[in-house]
A and B are shown apart, each in its own frame.
Chain A
Amino acid sequence: MATLEQPKYTKADFESANDVRWCPGCGDYAILSAVQSVMPTLGIPKEKFVFVSGIGCSSRFPHYMNCYGFHTIHGRALTVASGVKSINPDLSVWVVTGDGDGLSIGGNHTMHAIRRNQDLKILLFNNKIYGLTKGQYSPTSELGKKTKSTPMGSIDNPINPVSLAIASGATFVARTIDKNVKHMMEIFKEAAAHKGTAFIEIYQNCLIFNDNAFVDYTEKEVKDDHSVYLTSGKPLVYGKESDKAIKLNGFSAQSTGAKNGDLKNALIHDPTVKDKALAYVLGQMGVENPELPVAFGVLRKVEEPTYQDRLLDQEKQALSKKPNASIEDILNAGDTWVVS
């Protein structure tokens, strides 16, 4: 029996001939490289990938992929991607956006694309700053942040991207970071395999306008005490000596010891819990309560029918009720009369 040969790709097949024009040392390079490395492993024909972006540094991404791409307008990538996927659900559609593009000007679309469970992979590059417009505060910039547009410090409360995604009902929510390429790749693979909206926040360093925004999670000396990596079925253990763990106290996460008998109190990670509350608590750690570590990994992964599943299902139902419908039928519907 003949078997269908999947084309064999290498990373180079996904690299475009265009010069990459991000600032030298930008975190975007690592993300691009991780995505290009993952693509050949997914078993999807190259022509079926579509990268859609809005406006911003991150949104130049499609130009650097050797795939179909649409570099659209500010904040609106998710709408275009939803249209692409609704016409051809067979495509693997990836949306590249940033904290300004996806949470400020395009915040509305982020909420709605997520709640519809559009089968899109959303990569939100969070550098907590406006880079392309040269350094104004963004919706994820911390309170008090001094920037060109906030000389006395920002008076806006920031938004936590994963909190918004979870509240909107995202069926897959993850967080990763540009400096941990191996982790990014694992998350991208898992997101690609998920059927439904996959929302991935990627901490990304902007070394020109907001350098060191994420040093707590990247510097060797401190990162282990400020990050906890989630693994399904495993307790939430962290710390330089793996000596700390996260336990639940009602609706709050707390740090506890991980040695001796304390480990039995630790929370065992289960991203498949339907109730959104647990994922929400994990997403808040370290962001809204700095004494706790930031959670990296898959916060939530549940199965639900996608928008495209429901769309095609309704189409099938309508067709079974009215098969062989023709233009003649609809033109001649209702009350008609003949003038002779």
Chain B
Amino acid sequence: MAVTEDKHKNIEALEEATIRFAGDSGDGMQLTGGQFTNATAIVGNDLSTLPDYPAEIRAPAGSLAGVSGFQIHFSSKEIYTPGDILDVLVAMNPAALKANLKDLKPGGMLIVNTNAFNETNLKKVNYTSNPLEDAALQSKYKVFGIEISRLTQLALEGSSLSAKHVDRTKNLFALGLMCWLYTRPMEKTIEWLNQKFKDKPDILDANLKVLKAGYHFGETTEVFISSYKIDQAKIKPGKYRNITGNEATVLGLIAASKKAGITPLLGSYPITPASDILHELAKYKQFGFRTFQAEDEIAAIGVALGASFAGGLGITTTSGPGVCLKSEFINLAIKTELPLVICDIQRGGPSTGLPTKTEQSDLLQAMFGRNGDSPIPIVSASTPGDCFEAVFEAVRIAIKYMTPVFFLSDGYIANGSEPWEIPDANKLPNIEVKFRKEKEGFSSYLRDEKTLARPWAIPGTPGLEHVLTGIETEVTTGKINYDPANHDAMVKIRAKKIENIENDIPDIKPVFGGEKGDLLILGWGSTYGSICAATELLIASGHKVANAHLRYLNPFPKNLGAFLKNYKKVLIPEINMGQMNMLIRAKYLVDSQGLNIVAGKPLKVNSITEAAESLLK
């Protein structure tokens, strides 16, 4: 296409950039961001994204509540986060400006759709005057007021589309302009539009026209002095694709069930931000992946547990409020010792909380949120791509140890994306499934000496008929038993079985920094990127700092206690009020300190370096 030929006036090389598209939730900002991301991935930059959208499907147009944003950080170096502050903000209306301006760095580029700055829209967000006319704004940022709506209309003059439809394509003008500004190729977007609107030629035509108009505008107008390029990042050689955490979770579940050779069944009830896993898995029926959209959260885990009893791989996906409802069933799975994978894509709580925002506050719920002593393994993912391996591990542990396992992800990594090195399917470990067949010597709770797992004897196997129950049962026979000594023994066996998994997981070691030092920054889950970036900065400024990241939250790696003692101080940044910190302090009697910012957003690198520096003083 002619539009991607190099017609740039003056190209300035940059190392990295962070930009955010912001507009009304009906403005197509997620789509614009997604397409810009694809183009950036093709260029070979390292990247990290942060979609940020409201819980309301369509909040009132032009309101602050309705602002939807998509942030992307891309670089010629390896990067770990979607960026703390913005180099560029694209604001499609006054609400988007008001909600996002605070994140734009002084001197940063502000691109606004001036047509949306009319009296009605200004009033909706309590601007008494047009902020674009404010001299302070003009001097603080590089402001580019562009008549995006009008230019879109002009590009489509004579089109058969209604005014409303015409206006809807203005996000593609912004996309085209940004593609020009950062020298991104548009082929993939054009291909994508061709596919999406193949049956609607007039809409396709309009979208292509507007996209190109945006690109050409950058090229021909005198507004922009230069455009920018960011070289390919030097990342590990391999084959890559861009992936979100939910997509990686889906692939991990399919790969693990294939490697185990049993039929997977996902029981799920729609809930943000986990629903995409259900949508995606529903597309893989050719792999024998069975998805069951149940009538509620409880039924969803019930069908999954029934599937496991019958010899399938039971999986349920949800978020915190769903975990609340599932807890009685999780305990039944613990008591009956059946494999089950519970994927909790955490969001802001308590109660309905912040459905579309991220948080790490379900850790203690996963750990303890049930009646009785009910130990359960917990595996967490640290980046979008890491969801693949982490959920694969959850499946492996569930089957090998005959236990339900929590897989913790969160809204940030579930919807955020990064380039992901595609694993070699042949090198994935096999997951051995041992269905009991022999009648001789069978007892439903006769355990494997090493793993303490009970036998998996599935209905349909002659001679192994037995009944599972939530009532306490005798240590070996699995028959109902209320004897006090037997209960004490069973409680301890259940604990021991989970504790033993520490022998089957890797030791913890530093990600950055040395084996000993003044400060260890210990993290888990989606804080990985911010902690790594902060640690690199701290090391570069001469501090003896290291960071380590926990994937296995229960049981902890065997060496964790000794490892923590190699550092004078321990900082645990979390997007909760200190849940991991509580577990670490309780188990290892270490005086670790928390950094707790619970704002529904990923932690900023800056917040971590500040907290670390104050501890290092």
Question: With A47-B462, A83-B305, A332-B239 in contact, is A311–B290 under 8 Å at CB?
Answer: yes
A322 and B286 contact, Cβ closer than 8 Å, known pairs A48-B460, A84-B307: yes
In the complex the two chains form, is A79's CB within 8 Å of B285's CB? no
Further pairs besides A47-B464, A323-B286, A332-B241: 11, Cβ < 8 Å: A47-B460, A72-B305, A72-B332, A82-B302, A83-B303, A88-B311, A88-B460, A328-B425, A330-B284, A338-B239, A339-B239
Q: Find out whether the CB atom of B286 lies under 8 angstroms from the CB atom of A71.
A: no
Indicate if the CB atoms of A87 and B425 lie closer than 8 Å: no
Q: Are A83 and B304 in contact (CB under 8 A)?
A: yes
Q: With A63-B480, A79-B298, A79-B303 as given contacts, are A337 and B310 in contact (CB-CB < 8 Å)?
A: no
Instruction: Specify which of A72, A88, A319 is in contact with B302 (CB 8 Å cutoff).
Output: A72
Which A50-76 residues have a C-beta within 8 angstroms of B? Answer: 50-52, 62-63, 65-73, 76
Residues 388-432 of B, flagged 1 when their CB comes within 8 A of A and 0 if not, give 000000000000000000000000000000000011010010000
> Which of A45, A72, A322 is packed against the most chain B CB atoms within 10 Å?
A72
Asked if B491 is at the interface (CB within 8 A of a chain A CB), the reply is: no
Complex: A62 Cα to B336 Cα, angstroms: 15
CA distance A18 to B251 in the complex (A): 45
A-B contact count (CB 8 A): 202
**Within residues 469 to 493 of chain B, which ones have a CB less than 8 A from any CB in chain A?**
469-471, 479-480
CB distance from B462 to the nearest CB of A (A): 5
Residue B140 lies at the interface, judged by CB distance under 8 Å to chain A? no
Question: Which of A51, A82, A331 is most buried by chain B, counting CB atoms within 10 A of its CB?
Answer: A331
From A109, A331, A333, A337, B295 is in contact (CB under 8 Å) with: A109
Q: Which residue of A lies closest to B42 (CB)?
A: A337
With A71-B470, A72-B332 already in contact, the answer to whether A332 and B42 are too (CB < 8 A) is: no
Within 8 A of A (CB), among B222-245: 232, 235-242
Query: Which residues does chain B contribute within 8 Å of A311, judged by CB atoms?
Result: 290
| B463: Cβ under 8 A from any A Cβ | yes
**In the complex, are the beta carbons of B292 and A86 less than 8 A apart?**
yes
Are A67 and B241 neighbours in the complex by a CB distance under 8 Å?
no
Contacts of B254 in A (CB 8 A): 327, 330
Q: Does B263 contact A (CB under 8 A)?
A: yes
B267 at interface by CB-CB < 8 Å: yes
Q: Is A237 an interface residue (CB 8 A)?
A: no
Chain B residues near A16 (CB-CB < 8 A):
467
B460 and A76 form a contact (CB under 8 A): no
> Interface 1/0s, chain B 297-330, versus A by CB < 8 A?
0111111111111111010000000000000110
Task: Give the docked Cα–Cα distance between A73 and B326 (Å).
Answer: 11
User: In the complex the two chains form, what is the Cα distance from A45 to B285 in whole Å?
Assistant: 30
Give CA–CA (A85, B329) in the complex, Å.
18
User: A8-50 vs B: 1/0 string, CB under 8 Å?
Assistant: 0000000010100000000000000000000000000111101
A87 with B241, Cβ < 8 A, contacts A72-B470, A112-B299 known: no
Report the bound CA distance from A326 to B254 in whole Å. Answer: 10
Q: Does B106 contact A (CB under 8 A)?
A: no
